[in-house]
Amino acid sequence: MRTLHDSQDSQDVVLDIDAELRHWRGCYRQSAFHRGPREFDDYIPTLKFGYDTYLVNYHRELDAVLGVLKARYERDVAEWQRLDWPLGEAVIRETWKRMRNGKSWRPLQTPSRGMAHQSAAAAALR
């Protein structure tokens, strides 16, 4: 589980990355980003990168951080796991879109306030 504080609603929210991967596994072939013979496992590192970068940058617009994200993607995702950037960007856009639409997260059930814990990968992207 990955969490963030949603300042718009003043509540903590939880992202279940395993549930998100199950979602994409079931529909990736029909998604806007899917290309030809690629298998689902080819997308996993980029999907995780997309969600992690959203958790760090949720208060910003994706287009405002794309240049930085491209450099981080090339630095942080192993070359053999990376997609070419146009495809990687398309995957990242879809993860951000799901987060922005509230389809990927749910309210945290604890009464905690302030910034919730993020995944280690998300914290490293700061």
Report pLDDT digits (tens) over 10-60.
Answer: 346 678 899 999 999 999 999 989 998 899 999 999 999 999 999 889 899
Report the alpha-carbon angle 11-47-56, nearest 5. 40
The gap from C-alpha 89 to its chain's centroid, in whole angstroms, comes to 11
Taking the CB of residue 15, how many other CB atoms lie within 10 A of it? 24
The pair of three-digit structure tokens given for residue 18, joined into one six-digit string: 């395993």
Query: Given this model, what pLDDT does residue 126 score?
Result: 43
What integer is the mean pLDDT of 104-126? Answer: 48
Q: Quote the pTM value.
A: 0.75
Report pLDDT digits (tens) over 62-99.
Answer: 999 999 999 999 999 999 999 999 999 999 999 999 99
